[in-house]
Amino acid sequence: MDPKNPIVQFLPFVVIFAIFYFLLIMPMRKRQKKHQQMLSKLTKGDRVVTSGGIFGTVVEVQGDRVILRVADNVKLEVAVSAVAGLAKDAADVNLAPSE
């Protein structure tokens, strides 16, 4: 093969992109899909933790909002996207902001 062949010169970039895809992009997509599935299955009574670290029990799901009971007679209305995960999985929840 001729070293001036454009395909040979472009090959290292393709290999680097493939490595990034399998090590970074694909796992991030799987995690994001799992999180979206969890959010879509939120129901009354689920114990959750928000991205701000607030633990609460789902009282009601209203479209893109969730009403959480955090203490006796204390309810918060938060965006569904602010729910980081279920409280039983709280040790595994990454509270860092996501893109």
Instruction: Tell the residue number behind the tokens 């799901």, with chain if given.
Output: 61
For 44, other C-beta atoms within 10 Å of its C-beta total 10
Residues 6+ apart with CB under 8 A from 65: 77, 78, 79, 80
CB contact at 8 A, 53 and 86: no
From CA 89, how far away is CA 93, in angstroms rounded? 7
pLDDT tens sequence across 34-77: 999 999 999 999 999 999 999 999 999 999 999 999 998 999 99
The pTM for the full model equals 0.68
Give the 3-state secondary structure of the chain. CCCCCHHHHHHHHHHHHHHHHHHHHHHHHHHHHHHHHHHHCCCCCCEEEECCCCEEEEEEEECCEEEEEEECCEEEEEEHHHEEEEHHHHHHCCCCCCC
What are the extents of the domains in the chain? 1-41, 43-92
Instruction: Tell me which fold the domain 43-92 belongs to.
Output: SH3 type barrels. (2.30.30)
Q: How confident is the model at residue 93 (pLDDT cuts 50, 70, 90)?
A: low
